[in-house]
Amino acid sequence: MFLLAAIFVGSVTAQAPPVALEKLQGKTILLFTPHPDDDTFCCAGTLAMLAKQNNNIQIFIYTNDDKGSYDPAMTSQRLAQIRSMEEENACKLIGIPAANIHWLQFHDGMLEYANTFDLVEQVTKVIRTYRPDVVMSIDPGSEYVRWHKTDHRMAANNTIDAVRAAEWHLYFPNQLLHDHLQPWHVPLEVYYYVTPQDANYWVDISSMIDLKLDAAMAHVSQFEPSIHKYRPDWDAQDLKREKADLLKEVIVKNGHVVEAFRISGGFNQQ
């Protein structure tokens, strides 16, 4: 499988993205996320804009996030329920209905140990079923090895592997034979969790920042005090403090609050 551009030019540079992501309308957009909050923290502003413009956004979540609580009384079954409910609440705020949330049902922190062949086959089937205009996913990029370990790394790699496989009918040919699913070339890939040097596209989310903060706050169990002793709601003081903390952390570019992405038009599929 050849890599024409890279081979003869020898470069993997970030090119100017061919489209204005936030202006898309009426498109099918699949977002893959390792946990039910990565999407909110990285993309809620952009997703809110896209949802408003009648794009069909489908969220696929690799794991159920059932490990990350310091509450000694918490069990994994209960945490999974909480995290599922929180994701539904966060998505609702930015305009994505619960029916559009799909869980791949792995346990938190265990994606690393999944069978990668089965995982790629499963996501390939998703892509061939929805035939998306855009796939949004965590960036499998060069700087990420250090902290992309386990769920992040696996989710990142697996999604692009599936994007590539989906394009060729001879990958998992039984999906065509038995499920009548045609191959599908994903025209646009949008990566989040990018480093500053890899980002090549920034969406101004100034108009959505309050909504994004509310969506982030919907993940109550991820924050103090709920992460240490679970409570499903916010004390007003806690909420104010956490929102203020988050606001200090936003990415600002040219004076605007933005979300950063790396957009790619097919190269990674090779």
User: Where does this chain touch a second copy (CB under 8 A) — which range of 18-26, 116-124, 126-134, 231-239?
Assistant: 116-124
Neighbouring C-alpha atoms within 13 Å toward the C-beta of 208: 25
User: Is residue 258 within 8 Å of 204, Cβ to Cβ?
Assistant: yes
Stretch that binds a second copy, among 15-23, 51-59, 144-152, 229-237 (CB under 8 A): 144-152
Helix or strand run (H / E) with residue 134: strand 134-138
Is the CB of 29 or the CB of 79 nearer to a second copy? 79
Where on the phi/psi map is residue 111: left (φ > 0), alpha (ψ -120 to 50), or beta? Answer: alpha
Yes or no: say if 145 and 186 are a contact pair by the CB < 8 Å rule. Answer: no
Residue selected from 62, 130, 144, 201 as contacting a second copy according to rule CB under 8 A:
144
Least distance to a second copy, CB of residue 133, Å: 19
195 touches a second copy by CB under 8 A:
yes
Q: How far apart are CA 259 and CA 24, in angstroms?
A: 16
Scan residues 119-138 and list those touching a second copy (CB under 8 A): none
Name the one range near a second copy by CB under 8 A: 45-53, 88-96, 128-136, 156-164. 156-164
The reply to whether 260 sits near a second copy by the rule CB under 8 A is yes
Interface residue with a second copy among 20, 99, 170, 236 (CB under 8 A) is: 170
DSSP string, 89-126: HHHHHTT--GGGEEEEEEPTT-GGGS-HHHHHHHHHHH
Structure letter (DSSP) for residue 137: E
Work out whether 62 is an interface residue with a second copy (CB under 8 A): no
Map the footprint of a second copy across residues 81-110, applying CB under 8 A.
Answer: 81, 84, 103, 105, 108-110
By the rule CB under 8 A, 215 interacts with a second copy: no
Instruction: Please report whether residue 54 would count as binding a second copy according to CB under 8 A.
Output: no
Q: Which residues contact 8 (CB under 8 A, 6 or more apart)?
A: none
Residue 108 vs 132, nearer CB to a second copy: 108
Segment 218-247, which members bind a second copy (CB under 8 A)?
A: 219, 222, 246
Neighbours of 260 (CB within 10 A): 19
Under a CB-based contact definition with an 8 Å cutoff, are residues 251 and 257 in contact? yes
What are 134's strand-pairing partners? 29, 188
Q: Please choose, out of 50-58, 77-85, 92-100, 228-236, the segment that lies near a second copy by the rule CB under 8 A.
A: 77-85
**Residue of 16, 25, 249, 255 that binds a second copy (CB under 8 A):** 249
Instruction: Tell me whether residue 27 or residue 223 sits nearer to a second copy (CB atom).
Output: 223
Q: How many residues bind a second copy (CB under 8 A)?
A: 90
